[in-house]
Amino acid sequence: MSLVNLTIDNIKVAVEPGTTILEAARKVGITIPTLCASTELGHTPGACRVCLVEVQGQRGLTASCVFPVWEGMVVRTTTEAVRNARRMVVELLLSNHPAECNYCIRNANCELQKVAEYTGVRELRFAIPTMSKEDAIDESSPSVVRDTRKCINCHRCVTVCAQVQTVSVLTPSFRGSSTTVAPPFDLPLMETNCTGCGQCINVCPVGALYEKDDIDKVWKALQDPTKHVVVQAAPAVRVQLGEEFGMPVGSLVTGKLIAALRKLGFHKVFDTNFTADLTIIEEGNELLKRVKEGGTLPMITSCSPGWIKFCEHFYPDLIPHLSTCKSPQMMFGALAKTYYAEISGIDPKDIVSVSIMPCTAKKFEAQRPEMCSSGFRDVDYVLTTRELGRMIKQAGIEFVGLADEEYDAPMGEYTGAATIFGTTGGVMEAALRTVYAVVTGENLGDLNVTPVRGLEGVKAATLTVGDLGPVSVAVAHGLANARTVLDQIREGKSPYAFIEVMCCAGGCIGGGGAPHPTTNDVRKRRAAGLYKDDGTVQKYRQSHESPSVKKLYEVFLKEPLGHKSHKLLHTHYVNRGTELPHKEKGPAVCKPAKKGAGH
Amino acid sequence: MKAKARNADIDISKEFTPEQLKKVDKIIEKFKDRPGALIPVLEEAQMVLEFLPMPILKIIAGGLNLPLSQVYGVVTFYSFFTMTPRGKYTVRVCLGTACYVRGGKAIYDNIKKELNVEEGETTDDRMFTLETVRCIGACGLGPVIFVNDNVHGRLKPAKIKDVLSKYN
């Protein structure tokens, strides 16, 4: 098809027909400020009106995000009329936006602030009182907090929730100046089908959606002399945290992360990767058992708590397909207050277990009533990568200048197979490496299983695994893609033996606790950081080679899928259904296990 | 107030007759699998039921295989749809410029007090639904209110009780 020629600010540009003025301008390096448009989401409602431009021959100004180019079009983006109109639009947006910037969670990281700067707003001539805080803030969910006052009605969260995650919790409701984004009937989030994935947070331009902040609870534990505080950090955190301190996107900062955690006062700095390796041993053996004994197949991974809650709501009939393995976070929690307590001689009641996650759904997972295997709350507090970033800033630690440090034994050592859990396809790749080795007694010819890497929505591969013959696997990330493979199972047409599902696009590196912003380019760079850790940094690249995991089986667990594993490392799921409102019980109080009591 | 308008606890088997509910099922059946079915279904269902409380919206969402959020979004967007029952009489208070400067606000406040409802709400006995309008073209009579099709002009707050007592 022939290209369309136009000029923008006297610069000639040729683009595909159907391109919008906004996209054409970006091609030649002209930034038109926007608040609602997100090309990656396919979301251009033309709602915010900040992207106005002048098109010669058109009456009035035009929203460039929804206006397609035509041959010979002449666009001006900086005329007086454009600048005045944009400034007025932003001023009006600010007129009913709480002026809380200094203490807003998105301070210095807010798209509305940025647009106010770009458009040169210097005074606020109109101020409309906002809703009261009590009416506006929904803190019912342990994962996501909504503050309706700050919403600018860009509706990106509605799109990500409905289109990318197919959960459809949020909707624009009412109309005109009364429009708010809310769950149906303004139900508290916790009473809806919300998975807690936090993708809405990642696309929110302002502070209207954010993670439930648990920093103060962690500070309190750290400063309690009677407590022994252990911390685990998830794989994706090591390629995200640097961004909070202005480091290049995807920087691998494992050593600095450990140093910072130690400086914050954590008594032992461990790694979720240790239990990611353990997950592979348990889950790999579970898969082999199901294959050999005719169990439910395909088996689906269970590491991603947003995915689990989604399955419990929308596909409860497929629960038997879920691996019974807990996520690495919860395996770690259960072991911290049993295995670690035992070998360190510390009373588990004095241990506080904290995890650093790229994820908001992990906060919900840690509160699930099933997660009391140690007789205590297995994981006490979950902080997202963003919260850890803030905590490090609060502590006055100069993160970028920190010298690298090493994890503590015995729950810090990990292999490259564990670290790639943080990106889509990683769990599958790690599992294939180990399953192949266990079945054939040999290592995979090439440990890099590239067909399961990358941002394609559903990836599939077939691998011949010794006596098992060809094994077909699939990887899906983002819940809309998960539906594709799940519907195949429902129809009895799934060709796969094993499926990895991650709730968020890109896997955990794109999780709801990630630094702002997360785009596909950012996802790729964070994934590259993890593959670097796997390919060049770690000594071992297969989970079953981890000396610490071997030792754990030797001295504590005895065997994969054994009695202790069953009690501590495996779990069960709940049929939640989709009938609203859900009456969730609050976090259960863990009762110490009675002697001899089973799981 | 709008946040409270959930009507979640309403017992539809008491509120509506089995015939009414059957009609709703038939409406859903008729439009099911047609693109853009939601608005016609809501429209016809409201004709049958007069209002669309939460349990009904759930039935419609389930029947059309749509997220409840989408159904709720549409119902709240169009002023034609209502999630709360309507009164026998709709009282519309004019708050247009002319009525306003001639004391429309005081009339409105007085009616709210008299009926013990806020804008858009219906009295517990389902006699009155209160609404406001911006000018009904009877400025010469201001301040005015409409009760169904009857105009009451040159009102004073003290006369409200008398006016409303005519309707029963």
Is residue A589 domain-resident?
A: no
Which tens digit of pLDDT belongs to each residue from A215-226? 999 999 999 999
B71, B8: one domain: yes
**Cβ of B2 under 8 Å from any chain A Cβ?**
yes
Within an 8 Å CB–CB cutoff, is residue B134 touching chain A? no
Does an H or E element contain B90, and which? strand B89-94
B139 part of a folded domain: yes
Q: How far is CA A582 from the centre of its chain?
A: 24
B82 part of a folded domain: no
Angle at A490 between CA A487 and CA A496, to 5 degrees: 80
Residue A365 annotated in active site: yes
- Residue A100 within a domain: no
Say yes or no to pLDDT of B8 above 80: no
Q: How many CB atoms lie within 10 A of CB A590?
A: 16
Q: How far apart are CA B27 and CA B45, in angstroms?
A: 7
- Using the 8-state DSSP alphabet, how is residue B34 labeled? S
Same domain, residue pair A388 and A340: yes
pLDDT for the residue A127: 83
- What is the mean pLDDT of the segment spanning A250-269? 98
Point out the residue among B2, B58, B67 whose CB comes nearest to the CB of A174.
Answer: B2
Residue A323 is a catalytic residue: yes
The answer to the question of residue A113 being in a domain is: no
Q: Do A162 and B72 touch (CB under 8 A)?
A: no
Average pLDDT score, chain A: 95
The answer to whether residue A599 scores a pLDDT higher than 50 is no
**B54/A contact by beta carbon, under 8 A:** yes
CA distance A424 to A456: 9
Query: Could you say which of A135, A169, A173 has the minimum Cβ distance to residue B76?
Result: A173
CB contact under 8 A, A173 and B68: no
CATH assignment of the domain containing A200: 3.30.70.20
Active site residue A362: yes
**What's A83's domain CATH number?**
3.10.20.740
Please indicate, yes or no, if residue A109 is contained in any of the structural domains: no
* Catalytic option among A64, A323, A494, A565: A323
- Contact at CB, B69 and A175, closer than 8 angstroms: no
Note whether residue A329 is domain-resident: yes
User: At which of A147, A182, A211 does a domain end?
Assistant: A211
pLDDT digits (tens, 9 = 90+) for A159-209: 999 999 999 999 999 998 889 999 999 999 999 999 999 999 999 999 999
Residues of A in contact with B82 (CB under 8 A): none
Same domain, A243 and A195: no
Of A175, A178, A185, the CB nearest to B72: A185
Same domain, B61 and B94: no
Query: Chain A partners of B71 at a C-beta cutoff of 8 Å?
Result: 184
Query: Active-site residue A508, yes or no?
Result: yes
Q: Which residue, A161, A196, A211, sits at the end of a domain?
A: A211
How far is the C-alpha of A150 from the C-alpha of A145, rounded, in Å?
12
Question: Mutation test of the interface with chain B: which of A138, A160, A168, A185, choosing the one with the most B Cβ atoms within 10 A?
Answer: A185
- Residue B9 near chain A (CB below 8 Å): no
Of A174, A175, A184, the CB nearest to B69: A184
Catalytic residue among A54, A286, A429, A500: A286
Is the domain of A196 the same as that of A237? Answer: no
List pLDDT tens digits, range A125-154: 988 888 888 889 999 999 999 999 999 999
Least confident of A375-389, A485-499, A576-590, B131-145: A576-590
Domain hosting B49: range is 4-77
The answer to whether B1 faces chain A, any CB pair under 8 Å, is no
What per-residue confidence (pLDDT) applies to A593?
A: 56
Q: Are residues A247 and A343 in the same domain?
A: yes
| Whether A71 is catalytic | no
Q: Is A105 exposed, middle or buried (0-12, 13-18, 19+ CB in 10 A)?
A: buried
Residues of chain A that touch chain B, judged by Cβ-Cβ distance less than 8 Å: 135, 162, 168-175, 178, 183-187, 579-581
For residue B7, pLDDT beyond 70: no
Instruction: Specify whether A55 is located in the same domain as A34.
Output: yes
Domain boundary residue, one of B20, B45, B77: B77
Q: Mind listing the pLDDT tens digit for each residue in A422-462?
A: 999 999 999 999 999 999 999 998 999 999 999 999 999 99
pLDDT in the model for residue B6: 53
pLDDT recorded at residue A596: 45
Domain boundary among B28, B44, B77: B77
Please report how many Cα atoms fall inside a 13 Å half-sphere around the Cα of residue A39, on the Cβ side: 13
How close B6 gets to chain A, by Cα (Å)? 6
The answer as to whether B113 is a domain residue is yes
Rounded to two decimals, the pTM is 0.92
Does residue B16 belong to any structural domain of this protein?
Answer: yes
Domain count, chain B: 2
| E strand or H helix that includes residue A228 | strand A228-233
* Shortest CA distance from B83: residue in chain A: A185
Domain assignment present for residue A309? The answer is yes
Q: A250, A515 in Cβ contact below 8 A?
A: no
> What is the predicted pLDDT for the residue at B3?
36
SS3 A141: coil
Nearest CA in chain A to B74: A173
Residues A566 and A547 in one domain: yes
A36, A48, A303, A503: the catalytic one is A303
Residue A376 pLDDT > 60: yes
Same domain, A247 and A205: no
User: Quick check: is A108 in a domain?
Assistant: no
Contacting residues of B for A186, CB less than 8 Å apart = 2-3, 6
Please tell me which residue of chain B has the smallest CA distance to A169: B69
Q: What is the ipTM of this complex?
A: 0.90
Residue A139 to residues A134, A211, A296, A390, Cα–Cα distance (Å): 10, 10, 38, 20
By Cβ distance, the residue of A162, A170, A185 closest to B8 is A185
Co-location of B98 and B69 in the same domain? no
Contact B8 A581 (CB under 8 A): yes
Per the model's pLDDT, the better-predicted residue between A362 and A2 turns out to be: A362
Query: Residue B138 falls within a domain, yes or no?
Result: yes
Co-location of B94 and B159 in the same domain: yes
Domain endpoint, select from B17, B43, B77:
B77
Among residues A23, A111, A244, A283, which one is catalytic?
A: A283
Q: Which of A149, A182, A211 is the last residue of a domain?
A: A211
Q: Yes or no: say if A254 and A242 are a contact pair by the CB < 8 Å rule.
A: no
- Asked if A192 and A586 count as a contact pair (C-beta separation under 8 A), the reply is no
> CB–CB of A169 and B69 under 8 A?
yes
DSSP code of residue A579: P
Cβ of residue B70 closer than 8 Å to a chain A Cβ = yes
B97 within a domain of the structure (yes/no): yes
In a domain, B84, yes or no: no
CB contacts, 8 Å: A174 with chain B: 2, 76-77
The rounded distance, in Å, linking the Cα atoms of B92 and B86 is: 13
Assess whether A178 and A222 both reside in one domain.
Answer: no
Burial of A120 (0-12, 13-18, 19+ CB in 10 A): exposed
- If asked whether residues B67 and B123 sit together in one domain, one would say no
Q: How far apart are CA A392 and CA A249, in angstroms?
A: 18
**CB contact (8 A) between residue B3 and residue A579:** no
pLDDT at A39: 87
B148 vs A383: which has the higher pLDDT: A383
Give me the catalytic one of A91, A370, A456, A584: A370
Range of the domain at A290: 215-583
Identify whether residues B22 and B57 lie together within a single domain: yes
Query: Has residue B167 got a pLDDT over 80?
Result: yes
Cis peptide before A298 (omega within 30 of 0): yes
- For residue A586, the model assigns a pLDDT of 65
Has residue A105 been placed in a domain?
no
Residue B83 belongs to some domain of the structure: no
Residues A492, A379, single domain; the answer is yes
Residue A265, exposed/middle/buried by CB under 10 A (0-12, 13-18, 19+)? middle
Total number of domains constituting chain A: 3
CA distance B81 to B100: 28
Q: Does B119 touch chain A (CB under 8 A)?
A: no
